[in-house]
Amino acid sequence: MAAIDETSRRRGPYRKTEARRRDIIAAAQQVFASTGYRAGSLRDIGTVAGIDPSSILHHFPTKEALLEAVLEDKEKHDFEVLPALDDVDPHLVPRAMLELAERNSRVPHMIALYAILSAESTTAGHPSADYFRQRSERTRRDFRLLFQRMADAGLLADGVDVDYAATSTFAIWDGIQIHWLIEPDAVSVPETLRRHLRLITRVHNP
């Protein structure tokens, strides 16, 4: 019995700490998505999480460390999706991309978080500049690999090479997401992407 009590004494606070970290990360996601990183204060994050701002610093030593945790969390979310893309039959690459776009449309706050942080990251001395540059390189590389598989299967349209397919798909996707955040009734992310993929590939009903 003593051993069991000992264990729960150790587990209890650990579970609490983890739960508190999760709450803070969720609150920071919400605040950064609605004001950006620079203007998002620990005070606002504390208010959303329902804890004292000073106790945030027990869990994350700096606001930068908290930003890193927010981005790592999104990373995990992305990570669940990429293996499926990686493994896909070349005929199904467009469909897999559209499914990802449709899934993302159901989490508009994550799209907003990424839109605002990636734009903000281009400004001088921003702590997530490296993160967004690496994400950009990685996404373009992953898209190249996927479109290379399509090219090998003769599935790219005339006049479209792997590099253009990757660069244009990435650009139109990020661009239409911002336009959708600005005018949600005027544009559809999956529909715009679907028509783009129809034009650059030989898969006509993705």
Q: Which residues bind a copy of itself (CB under 8 A)?
A: 33-36, 38-39, 112, 115-116, 118-124, 132-133, 136-137, 140, 157, 159-160, 164, 167-168, 170-176, 178-179, 181-183, 186-187, 192, 195-196, 198-200
Residues 6+ apart with CB under 8 A from 139: 170
Cα atoms in the Cβ-side hemisphere of radius 13 Å centred on 61: 0
Q: Tokens standing for 44?
A: 């606002």
Which lies closer to a copy of itself via its Cβ, residue 80 or residue 106? 106
Report how far apart, in Å, the C-alpha atoms of 64 and of each of 7, 28, 53, 90, 184 are.
Answer: 33, 11, 15, 40, 31
Residues 6+ apart with CB under 8 A from 205: 198
Least distance from a copy of itself to the Cβ atom of residue 7, Å: 44
Residue 201 in 3-state DSSP?
A: strand
Least distance from a copy of itself to the Cβ atom of residue 86, Å: 21
Least distance from a copy of itself to the Cβ atom of residue 60, Å: 19
Which lies closer to a copy of itself via its Cβ, residue 147 or residue 173? 173
Residues 6+ apart with CB under 8 A from 47: none
Least distance from a copy of itself to the Cβ atom of residue 74, Å: 16
Which lies closer to a copy of itself via its Cβ, residue 52 or residue 130? 130
Which lies closer to a copy of itself via its Cβ, residue 88 or residue 172? 172
